[in-house]
Amino acid sequence: MLVMHDDLKATSERCLEHVPQDAPLLEQVTFIFNELIGMYLASPLRSKAFLTRLFIATGPHSQRLHALTFGFLIQLASLVSAAEARGEVRQGTPAQLAASNMFATYAMVLLGWATGQLGEEGVKPMVAQAVGLQVRGLMAR
C-alpha cells in the first residue's frame, strides 16, 4: 500500500498542478482522472491488487491513503467552487458533495476494471461519460 500511496500522491499532485485552469469543469476533472487512470493502467497487476483491497483496508497505511483521498477531494471541490464562481455550475452547488460524487463514480469504474467487469480500453471512456453526466447535472441553466 505504501508504494501505491506514494505513486498516487505524486500523480495527483502533478495532475492538479497541471490541470488547465481556464478549461470547463468537465475537462478539468476528466484530465485529472485520466492521469490517475493512466497510473493504474501502467501497473495493472499491482493496481488491481491495491484497488480490490482499498475499500476494506485498515491500519496506519490505510489511514495515510484515506488522508490523501480526503485532501484530493478538497482539491476537486475547489475546482467545483471555481466553476460556480465562473457561472458554469449552479449557485449553491455543494462543492464537497459534488466532488465526492465524481470521485465515487471514478472509484467504482476503477473497481469494475480491477475485478474484471470492465476492460482496460473502457475505463477512461466510462469515467468520462459518467462524470460528464454528473457535471451536466450541475450546470447553470
pLDDT at 136 over 60: yes
What value does the mean pLDDT of the chain take? 92
User: 40, exposed or middle or buried, with CB in 10 Å at 0-12, 13-18, 19+?
Assistant: buried
User: 100, exposed or middle or buried, with CB in 10 Å at 0-12, 13-18, 19+?
Assistant: middle
Domain 2-138 is found in CATH 1.10.357.10: yes
Flag whether the pTM goes above 0.85. yes
Is 61 or 79 the better-scoring residue by pLDDT?
79
Average pLDDT of the residues in 41-50: 92
The residue extents of the domains of the chain are: 2-138
